Chains A and B, each alone.
Chain A
């Protein structure tokens, strides 16, 4: 199936829950409503002409500072002044977090990038772990790094970081804590951000 056909199928069945779609680029994508993601996922897997039996990759994304015009604004984050002090960053709380699901069907040899966007203030997405068990760990990793909560996940714990770690490291506004338990993290060059 082409991307346009897949989009048509989803739009017919779910209507308003399919928010956006982009075709004609290297990797076409479909943006859907995070609340009905589990139904959409089940539909994508179970329909015979779609049959997305594999979830390849689940990636969290923090769109803070993302500039589609290509100016690369995000690189201002954690930058240094001339005299070596950290430049203060002004964050707008409105920028979204997102999750991208890369799906594939071996039977039909077609692929799909499914996207959701969630507000930073309330990052909640329906879990698709019951549809693709792979997602259970992918969602745990996304939770670990971005603090996105997957509703209905049976075991949503941190996976790579210690369970009592504070903060969500892959968010763009993350600042390294000064201590972890009784281990000082200051002065190691980490808490100031990555010098470039």
Chain B
């Protein structure tokens, strides 16, 4: 039997042999704890793994590990024609598949135009694209709003959010037959016309939605417990946001007036009257979780305004597709095109060498860079505040991993 040479240190809190608080601090063995948060964790919004090092309740570092949903989208792009790749863009941001389709189609159209081809999107199709795209933006922000409530312990807003999202999904189902993976946009326009019933539903949705926004704000935005959890937490200032490539609501919540729809208008966004929503630091610091949350709430209102105007001005029914060759070959050239998605700026960098498939098709995913900033803001947060911060970034792992 081995004899113990030195007496065991006294148990923490027993008070035996300890005369001063300093002694307690010296005797207590304190070390950092490593925890995996995810990949299967309800608050990580998908298969995100955060490798967290904590000192008690305080996070000293959080390193994201991604790639669990990697599907080689960029490799697949090199083996598919421009039309065929549209369905893969659905699977990037699956909560805003319409917007992903749209951005990709806009990128290809811009590439065709740059090569001297004539691509004239019919006026009617442009309006349809804006209406459907903005509806999807509302649907995506509704999920962000609902799940953010869930993250912070508020169950009810989620059901309210899904109730309204259901109306939008029903509209999409009438328009294209699918509820999640739409592939509705195509290079040159949209695939089908909107049926009359769906147009009526859109008008009914517009008539009802503004009241709903007030309801959400009463329910969650102005809730004291919610403000306590979200305000002054996970502050991302403008300089950090720009340096880490944050875009979309994360950048605007930091007070940077930048929205591609306004500052580099694509499609027909310059014809509508709407505002760019910025964070104002009303409840705490500029760029905190509450600001990011609130920017999305206000953007829903602006999207609603755009839809109302677009439905009003909708031209007489006509063609929904531009006349393009069936075997589409992009002229030699390259282009980086970006557009404002619900999560931020989605960009496509397409290089064509004149073939029927792109030579290279790089996707610049907004959530990928929005997640990167977490490495910077996480140190010093409480674990529960880390959950609040991850939620406020509105990540979609399908898009991060591609």
1/0 per position for B43-80, CB-CB distance to A under 8 A?
00000000000000000000000110010101110111
Chain A residues within an 8 Å CB radius of B269: none
Chain B residues within an 8 Å CB radius of A132: 243, 245
B226 contacts chain A at the CB level, 8 A cutoff: no
Tell which of A72, A78, A113 has the most Cβ of chain B within 10 Å: A72
A184 contacts chain B at the CB level, 8 A cutoff: no
Contact B349 A26 (CB under 8 A): no
Contacts A54-B242, A57-B349; A194 near B76 (Cβ below 8 A): yes
Which B77-118 residues sit within 8 Å CB-CB of chain A? Answer: 78-80, 110-111, 113-115
Q: Nearest chain B CB to A106's CB is how many angstroms away?
A: 6
Contact B336 A56 (CB under 8 A): yes
**Complex Cα–Cα for A169 and B243 (A):** 29
Contact B372 A136 (CB under 8 A): yes
**Complex Cα–Cα for A57 and B80 (A):** 23
Contacts A102-B349, A194-B75; A56 near B338 (Cβ below 8 A): yes
Chain A residues within an 8 Å CB radius of B345: 56
Contact A26 B362 (CB under 8 A): no
Tell which of B110, B333, B334 has the most Cβ of chain A within 10 Å: B334
Contacts A57-B364, A102-B336; A133 near B243 (Cβ below 8 A): yes
Select B79's contact among A60, A162, A194, beta carbons within 8 Å: A194
Contact A75 B372 (CB under 8 A): no
Chain B residues within an 8 Å CB radius of A102: 336, 347, 349, 364
B299 contacts chain A at the CB level, 8 A cutoff: no
Number of A-B residue pairs with CB-CB distance less than 8 Å in the complex they form: 121
**Complex Cα–Cα for A75 and B329 (A):** 13
**Complex Cα–Cα for A60 and B361 (A):** 10
Contact A137 B357 (CB under 8 A): no
Contact A74 B335 (CB under 8 A): no
Select A160's contact among B66, B244, B362, B369, beta carbons within 8 Å: B66
Contact A137 B355 (CB under 8 A): no
B220 contacts chain A at the CB level, 8 A cutoff: no
Contact A57 B336 (CB under 8 A): yes
Q: Nearest chain B CB to A64's CB is how many angstroms away?
A: 10
B205 contacts chain A at the CB level, 8 A cutoff: no
Contact B355 A75 (CB under 8 A): yes
Contact B245 A54 (CB under 8 A): yes
Instruction: Categorize the interface residue count of chain A.
Output: 35 or more
Contact B333 A25 (CB under 8 A): yes
Contacts A27-B334, A70-B331, A72-B355; A169 near B72 (Cβ below 8 A): yes
Closest to A75 in B: B355
Select A27's contact among B245, B331, B336, B368, beta carbons within 8 Å: B336
Contacts A53-B242, A132-B245; A100 near B349 (Cβ below 8 A): yes
A6 contacts chain B at the CB level, 8 A cutoff: no
**Complex Cα–Cα for A137 and B70 (A):** 15
B164 contacts chain A at the CB level, 8 A cutoff: no
**Complex Cα–Cα for A100 and B348 (A):** 13
**Complex Cα–Cα for A147 and B357 (A):** 24
**Complex Cα–Cα for A57 and B329 (A):** 25
Closest to B351 in A: A61
A188 contacts chain B at the CB level, 8 A cutoff: no
1/0 per position for B244-268, CB-CB distance to A under 8 A?
1100000000001010000100000
Contact B355 A134 (CB under 8 A): no
Select B354's contact among A72, A109, A134, A169, beta carbons within 8 Å: A72
Select A74's contact among B72, B263, B353, beta carbons within 8 Å: B353
Tell which of B243, B345, B376, B401 has the most Cβ of chain A within 10 Å: B243
B332 contacts chain A at the CB level, 8 A cutoff: yes
Which B313-362 residues sit within 8 Å CB-CB of chain A? Answer: 329, 331-336, 338, 345, 347, 349, 351, 353-357, 359-360, 362
Which A1-57 residues sit within 8 Å CB-CB of chain B? Answer: 25-27, 53-57
Closest to B257 in A: A106
Chain A residues within an 8 Å CB radius of B362: 57, 59-60
Q: Nearest chain A CB to B373's CB is how many angstroms away?
A: 8
**Complex Cα–Cα for A194 and B72 (A):** 11
A71 contacts chain B at the CB level, 8 A cutoff: yes
Q: Nearest chain A CB to B137's CB is how many angstroms away?
A: 21
Contact B355 A61 (CB under 8 A): no
Closest to B331 in A: A70
Select A72's contact among B114, B334, B353, beta carbons within 8 Å: B353
Chain A residues within an 8 Å CB radius of B256: 106
Q: Nearest chain A CB to B258's CB is how many angstroms away?
A: 6
Chain B residues within an 8 Å CB radius of A159: 66-67
Q: Nearest chain B CB to A180's CB is how many angstroms away?
A: 13
Contacts A194-B76, A194-B79; A70 near B335 (Cβ below 8 A): no
**Complex Cα–Cα for A183 and B79 (A):** 25
Select A56's contact among B110, B331, B335, B347, beta carbons within 8 Å: B347
Q: Nearest chain A CB to B351's CB is how many angstroms away?
A: 7
Contact B110 A26 (CB under 8 A): yes
Chain A residues within an 8 Å CB radius of B338: 56-57
Give the 6 A-B residue pairs with the shortest CB-CB distance, closest first. Answer: A72-B355, A70-B354, A26-B114, A134-B245, A194-B79, A59-B362
Which residues from chain A sit less than 8 Å from chain B, CB to CB?
25-27, 53-57, 59-62, 66-75, 78, 100, 102, 106, 109, 113, 132-134, 136-137, 145, 158-162, 169-170, 194, 196
Can you name 9 A-B pairs with beta carbons within 8 Å? Answer: A54-B242, A74-B353, A100-B349, A102-B336, A132-B243, A133-B245, A158-B67, A194-B75, A194-B76
**Besides A70-B353, A158-B67, 5 new A-B residue pairs in contact (Cβ under 8 A), listed by A number:** A25-B114, A53-B242, A133-B245, A134-B245, A169-B75
